Amino acid sequence: MVKDDMNPAPQSSICSRIETKPMTSITSKEIRPSGGVLLLGATGRLGGMLRRHWPQAGDLLCQSRRAMAGFAQFDLPLPGQPPSDAALRAAEGVRAIICLSGVTPAAARNGQPMSDNTTLATAALDLAQAAGVSRVLIASSAAVYGAGKGAMSETQAVTPLSDYGRAKLAMEQAVLARGAGIARILRIGNVAGADAILGGWRPGMALDQFADGRTPRRSYIGPVTLARVMHGLCGSADLPDVLNIAAPGVVEMGALLDAAGLAWQPRPAGAESIAKVELDTNALERLVPFAPENTSPAGLVGEWQQDRQNP
């Protein structure tokens, strides 16, 4: 079977299957809910964050390949195969499917083919079409942009630099070619706690420092805000085919570690270092609101610490 639950994380009791009442959305236009939201890849790191902070109790049905209390257990279908009865039962009646299933660079180093990013995403799409689900949100990555200049928008040409970025772009193209209007691609930026800075901090960590004294600046989003945003997008009727997912602006990595009280050492930035990677969030901001605390180093660290306290 194709592996679809990278970076296993502890389970959470928020995963359940009950009938839901129409929610008050954070978007201006809504799809009337007919059920909950099915989360594929729910045992991964981002899946754990959504489980812990999903704003509507009883609304999230979580999938796992392994038997876990409170989770729907099934595999995504292999290419050319129909979804299993268990998968169809889980998907039937939901208003949206979120697909976080994919292959991380770490999994690829352990032998998982990067091409499985496409296999898993198209399998999620096949499940949605078989179950009559009209909205599928499929996680991609800001890695598809490569070293683009300025605030990178969803409509610009992309040139990924890494194998991971190229695999995610191939996945996007395959999904949009087959999506029949129901699939939406989410290019997710750095998530506080699932990143290499807060999530990967270690004693003696060094950060590139550029001639202006700054450390790298990146688009970020906190885990609590990410769950709120994803919840809102599941009910929005006006989503573009591709959407950047990040809080507005950029955050300096040194400032993020400073706000967390984590020590770091500067090192001269090399010629290959990228000073700024910013996602254009204008389209997202038209759909969901952001407050200043969603975008500041202190606010991001606060959400990270809140997430760590509720594993």
Using CB atoms within 10 A of its CB, is residue 249 exposed (0-12), middle (13-18) or buried (19+)? middle
Cβ-based neighbour number of residue 37 at 10 Å: 25
CA 174 to chain centre: 18
**Residue tagged 């807060």 (tokens):** 198
What would the 3-class secondary structure string for the chain be? Answer: CCCCCCCCCCCCCCECCCCCCCCCCCCCCECCCCCCEEEECCCCHHHHHHHHHCCCCCCEEEEECCCCCCEEECCCCCCCCCCCHHHHHHHCCCCEEEECCCCCHHHHHCCCCCCHHHHHHHHHHHHHHHHCCCCEEEEEEHHHHCCCCCEECCCCCCCCCCHHHHHHHHHHHHHHHHCCCCEEEEEECEECCCCCCCCCCCCCCEEEECCCCCCCEECEECHHHHHHHHHHHCCECCCCCEEEECCCCCEEHHHHHHHHCCCCEEEECCCCCCCEEEECCHHHHCCCCCCHHHCCHHHHHHHHHHHHCCC
Which pLDDT score, from 0 to 100, does residue 15 have? 66
Q: What is the mean pLDDT of the chain?
A: 88
178: left (phi over 0), alpha (psi -120 to 50) or beta: alpha
Tell me if 53 is assigned to some domain: yes
The 10s digit of each residue's pLDDT in 150-171 is 899 999 999 999 999 999 999 9
Phi, psi values for residue 115, rounded to 5°: -65, -20
Cβ atoms 13, 58 nearer than 8 A: no
Between residues 192 and 235, which one has the greater pLDDT?
192
| 27 pLDDT above the threshold of 80 | no
CA distance 197 to 234: 29
How many folded domains does the chain comprise? 1
Mean pLDDT to the nearest integer, 58-73: 92
Which pLDDT score, from 0 to 100, does residue 148 have? 78
Rg (CA), the chain: 19
Tell me if 141 is assigned to some domain: yes
Amino acid at 2: V
Tell me if 13 is assigned to some domain: no
Phi, psi values for residue 39, rounded to 5°: -105, 110
Q: Quote the tokens at residue 240.
A: 């573009």
Which pLDDT score, from 0 to 100, does residue 8 have? 42
Which CATH number is 155's domain given?
3.40.50.720
The residues with which 40 forms a beta bridge, in sequence order, are 99
Tell me if 4 is assigned to some domain: no
Phi, psi values for residue 294, rounded to 5°: -75, -15
Mean pLDDT to the nearest integer, 223-249: 95
Sheet holding 242-245, edge to edge: 71-73, 60-64, 37-40, 96-99, 136-141, 183-188, 242-245
Tell me if 251 is assigned to some domain: no
Tell me if 44 is assigned to some domain: yes
**Given pLDDT bands bounded at 50, 70 and 90, which one contains residue 262?**
very high
The region of weakest confidence among 16-25, 61-70, 266-275, 290-299 is: 16-25
Which pLDDT score, from 0 to 100, does residue 122 have? 95
pTM of the entire predicted model = 0.88
Per the structure, the complete domain to which residue 52 belongs is given by 37-190+221-246+278-290
| 83 pLDDT above the threshold of 80 | yes
Using CB atoms within 10 A of its CB, is residue 162 exposed (0-12), middle (13-18) or buried (19+)? middle
The 10s digit of each residue's pLDDT in 206-221 is 999 999 999 999 999 9
Mean pLDDT to the nearest integer, 108-115: 89
Tell me if 215 is assigned to some domain: no
Considering the chain, what percentage of its residues have pLDDT values greater than 70?
Answer: 89
| 43 pLDDT above the threshold of 80 | yes
Considering the chain, what percentage of its residues have pLDDT values greater than 90?
Answer: 73
45 contact partners, CB below 8 Å, separation of at least 6: 6, 7, 9, 194, 199
Mean pLDDT to the nearest integer, 159-184: 92
Tell me if 88 is assigned to some domain: yes
